[in-house]
Chains A and B, each alone.
Chain A
């Protein structure tokens, strides 16, 4: 790790020849702008989702409505609400009139500023007229979704599941990685290869008996199938931890061993204090991974609404409220805000973790 950072630092120094001449500057401006554009397109779905989450159902069902959350202008006349349109009149002026009786070739309007005047006949197709809209973000959508989806319960379940899996994964993977990194035993190479090979195994090939057995022992419908395997280590995190432990010098271990410390004690007081960056990385990865897990809760918790995590709750919510995209998007935003916040807070750890696991070999 330390060596790695140095390499990167060196590489950066190599890159710093800052462009001075105009041609270079133009290239920099162009390329940077291009990347800004790509990035905007890349993140656009998120903005779009946020905007939709604030729209009213009226606006969503209206073709050619404005991009921002808005409501069409209406006028209430004799107790009935009518939509207002921009109507071009024969005298050359355009006025805002409310459509009372639509017709294919001729329609009747009323003037909101002068309803006493009575109905105004207008020739033409009302469908080609534009409507005035006013900006009206529907913040209530969030409050409603909060209750409808039972967000506090889903959130509690998700956090608990993620926390327990994280504890289990960090505990078991640290032990296993310590075993692979610090002890010599016959078959170590083979076992490590076997461990890594499990990454390539399609989940389907173990799914059917696993599900059937969990079912037979009464675990289906509980959190156990999601949590217990976490305590038995997984290839990714063991690999990540082992790679890091290998970079920690053995001098201190050996000194402690000569002092008669047990291996567990060496792990606790010598190795772990030096390994915290990778442990934080593994914790955050596992937390986010478990937060985002969908398939396992879907199959193991079917029919147990009170145990579901957010992901499954959100998918179900989508099934029920598909006719109100604003609700769906509000639910999305509420679900993604926590992992995104975690990322923003811990971006260095995230990125470092990805780099260790991805580039080390």
Chain B
């Protein structure tokens, strides 16, 4: 997808997804009730039997707890279409872009790739198959989706995906840690305020987060980060954990933006700088956010999601966090994303399945794709914690999600539904020039900031901007 088009599309598309995801209006579309879901249709045998490869995970899907179910789903395709088979290959998110590049380079491209996020698709732009002819020839029913959501995956390569799952962001917090500290829990509603321990009501913004997160950060001796004698070298519990997978995402919690400025040059959005500063000072000055080495330590899930350790009081993350959050204990809940400068932004992930152009059996691959998105959709959406892009399915989804093994009896899923209205627009994973190179540069700076105290952040931001620009120029 070229840049100009991408920029034009991203805002529209996210808006469309948002409308689809939260708008009850869309669910009243007549076709939904009329067809009664595609599961009931007999599978048309319009393709030659083939052995297909399903490549995971440019999005979620790699967790050991998810893999057996994915394998079952893959095997189910073969049972449905004797003679064909679908085999899943799990490559961890960290290595997924590299390995897929290598496979494509080796003429050894898989057929289906997914779940792939917006960024996963952007990283391989130009390599995806246009699904439009297949949608047409099999009369695949797109009417259940909002047209805008379908257009989200329309690029100048064509229709490269079909809406599948959306993951809004929320604050995940541990009720027991708030209780232990004698603090009130964060607000669930997006218009609510936060009540401090002394009863005063304050805005639910990042200043408040900093204040309570420091009280929730505790050292070995039981002293919190606001107390004299607190030892930042011996912290056993942290107050706050941002979504630190990607600097762009980290910034997007403070405000939507893009590194591609209006004239096409590289420019860091102002809210992102504020978010990064908060992150940096939170690690090195106020100590309520863990530094890189602590984040990687075994005690805090060894580089996974620290919230799962059960010793992080609040964490901002996407809905797919459900895959592993049971490890955090049975007393977590969801709260609203805090405001920055009066604006609330809940970055959105959206996953789908796509077919690579190099697939040797595109017809069979399309059949497998629709199998994953229809027959297996309930299983997979549940497994991934992905809110269905089919609005009619959302309530049932949350009901089933709430019954997951090891989840607390009461989780306020309404927060997740409400969060979609605050989705970031443009989406932080939207395409940019030299996608993989730029991500590597961002990764290098992220790694530097999480491991190096005493940096001059303004100089860092300038250097980062310059380095990205240089990569784009070459």
* Residue of B55, B90, B110, B180 touching A103 (CB-CB under 8 A): B180
On whether the beta carbons of A303 and B92 are closer than 8 Å, the reply is no
Q: Which residues of A contact B180 (CB under 8 A)?
A: 102-104
Interface presence of A342 (CB below 8 A): no
| B residues 220-234 in Cβ contact with A at 8 Å | 220-224
On whether the beta carbons of A60 and B236 are closer than 8 Å, the reply is no
CA distance A218 to B360 in the complex (A): 14
Interface presence of B108 (CB below 8 A): yes
| B residues 70-106 in Cβ contact with A at 8 Å | 89-92, 94-95, 99, 102-103, 105-106
Q: Which residues of B contact A139 (CB under 8 A)?
A: none
Interface-central residue, B55, B67, B103, by most chain A CB under 10 Å:
B103
A302 touching B102 in the complex, CB below 8 Å, given contacts A63-B236, A221-B108: yes
Q: Which residues of A contact B181 (CB under 8 A)?
A: 104
On whether the beta carbons of A126 and B106 are closer than 8 Å, the reply is no
* Residue of B53, B92, B298 touching A325 (CB-CB under 8 A): B298
CA distance A128 to B219 in the complex (A): 10
CA distance A321 to B91 in the complex (A): 12
Q: Which residues of B contact A300 (CB under 8 A)?
A: 106
Interface presence of A299 (CB below 8 A): yes
Interface presence of B207 (CB below 8 A): no
| B residues 181-223 in Cβ contact with A at 8 Å | 181-182, 218, 220-223
On whether the beta carbons of B301 and A323 are closer than 8 Å, the reply is yes
On whether the beta carbons of B221 and A128 are closer than 8 Å, the reply is yes
On whether the beta carbons of B218 and A127 are closer than 8 Å, the reply is yes
Q: Which residues of A contact B236 (CB under 8 A)?
A: 63, 127
Which chain A residue shows the least CB distance to B92?
A319
| A residues 54-76 in Cβ contact with B at 8 Å | 60-64
On whether the beta carbons of A128 and B220 are closer than 8 Å, the reply is yes
A323 touching B304 in the complex, CB below 8 Å, given contacts A127-B221, A305-B89: yes
Chain B interface main SS type: mixed
* Residue of A126, A128, A216, A303 touching B89 (CB-CB under 8 A): A303
- Please give the distance in Å from B331's CB to the nearest CB on chain A: 11
CA distance A330 to B89 in the complex (A): 23
CA distance A202 to B100 in the complex (A): 26
On whether the beta carbons of B108 and A220 are closer than 8 Å, the reply is yes
A319 touching B95 in the complex, CB below 8 Å, given contacts A61-B309, A325-B302: yes
Interface presence of A232 (CB below 8 A): no
CA distance A302 to B89 in the complex (A): 10
Q: Which residues of B contact A250 (CB under 8 A)?
A: none
Interface presence of B299 (CB below 8 A): yes
On whether the beta carbons of B99 and A303 are closer than 8 Å, the reply is yes
Q: Which residues of A contact B55 (CB under 8 A)?
A: 303
| A residues 13-71 in Cβ contact with B at 8 Å | 60-64
A63 touching B299 in the complex, CB below 8 Å, given contacts A128-B221, A303-B103: yes
On whether the beta carbons of A316 and B304 are closer than 8 Å, the reply is no
Contact with B along A280-324 (1 / 0, CB 8 A): 000000000000000000011011110000000000100111110
* Residue of B220, B224, B299 touching A104 (CB-CB under 8 A): B224
On whether the beta carbons of A125 and B222 are closer than 8 Å, the reply is yes
Q: Which residues of A contact B89 (CB under 8 A)?
A: 303, 305
CA distance A325 to B298 in the complex (A): 8
A302 touching B222 in the complex, CB below 8 Å, given contacts A320-B64, A322-B304, A325-B302: no
CA distance A298 to B182 in the complex (A): 52
| Number of B interface residues in the complex (CB < 8 A) | 38
Interface presence of B454 (CB below 8 A): no
CA distance A61 to B310 in the complex (A): 10
A104 touching B64 in the complex, CB below 8 Å, given contacts A60-B298, A127-B222, A220-B106: no
* Residue of B99, B105, B220 touching A215 (CB-CB under 8 A): B105
CA distance A206 to B343 in the complex (A): 55
A322 touching B302 in the complex, CB below 8 Å, given contacts A220-B107, A220-B108, A303-B53: yes
CA distance A61 to B221 in the complex (A): 18
Which chain A residue shows the least CB distance to B94?
A319
On whether the beta carbons of B298 and A321 are closer than 8 Å, the reply is no
On whether the beta carbons of B302 and A215 are closer than 8 Å, the reply is no
Q: Which residues of B contact A264 (CB under 8 A)?
A: none
Which chain A residue shows the least CB distance to B301?
A323
Q: Which residues of A contact B176 (CB under 8 A)?
A: 102
CA distance A304 to B304 in the complex (A): 26
Interface presence of B351 (CB below 8 A): no
On whether the beta carbons of B220 and A302 are closer than 8 Å, the reply is no
Interface presence of A336 (CB below 8 A): no
- Please give the distance in Å from B400's CB to the nearest CB on chain A: 25
On whether the beta carbons of A128 and B299 are closer than 8 Å, the reply is no
On whether the beta carbons of B106 and A104 are closer than 8 Å, the reply is no
* Residue of B103, B218, B298 touching A302 (CB-CB under 8 A): B103
Contact with A along B294-314 (1 / 0, CB 8 A): 000011011110001100000
CA distance A128 to B220 in the complex (A): 7
Q: Which residues of A contact B107 (CB under 8 A)?
A: 215-216, 218, 220
A302 touching B302 in the complex, CB below 8 Å, given contacts A104-B180, A127-B220: no
CA distance A63 to B53 in the complex (A): 42
* Residue of B99, B218, B222, B302 touching A323 (CB-CB under 8 A): B302
* Residue of A128, A148, A302 touching B64 (CB-CB under 8 A): A148
Which chain A residue shows the least CB distance to B57?
A320
Q: Which residues of A contact B151 (CB under 8 A)?
A: none
A303 touching B224 in the complex, CB below 8 Å, given contacts A61-B309, A63-B299, A316-B91: no
- Please give the distance in Å from A124's CB to the nearest CB on chain B: 8
A215 touching B64 in the complex, CB below 8 Å, given contacts A102-B180, A319-B95: no
Q: Which residues of B contact A323 (CB under 8 A)?
A: 301-302, 304, 308
A128 touching B304 in the complex, CB below 8 Å, given contacts A62-B299, A221-B108, A303-B55: no
- Please give the distance in Å from B380's CB to the nearest CB on chain A: 19
On whether the beta carbons of A299 and B90 are closer than 8 Å, the reply is no
Q: Which residues of B contact A322 (CB under 8 A)?
A: 302-304
Which chain B residue shows the least CB distance to A303?
B103
- Please give the distance in Å from A99's CB to the nearest CB on chain B: 11
CA distance A127 to B110 in the complex (A): 51
CB-CB nearest 4 A-B residue pairs? A125-B222, A319-B92, A220-B106, A127-B222
Besides A303-B103, A322-B304, 19 more A-B contacts (Cβ < 8 Å) are A60-B299, A61-B301, A61-B309, A63-B299, A102-B180, A125-B222, A126-B222, A127-B218, A127-B236, A215-B107, A220-B107, A299-B102, A302-B102, A303-B53, A305-B89, A319-B92, A320-B64, A321-B64, A323-B301
Interface pairs (10), CB distance under 8 Å: A63-B236, A64-B220, A104-B222, A124-B222, A220-B108, A302-B102, A303-B110, A322-B304, A323-B302, A323-B308
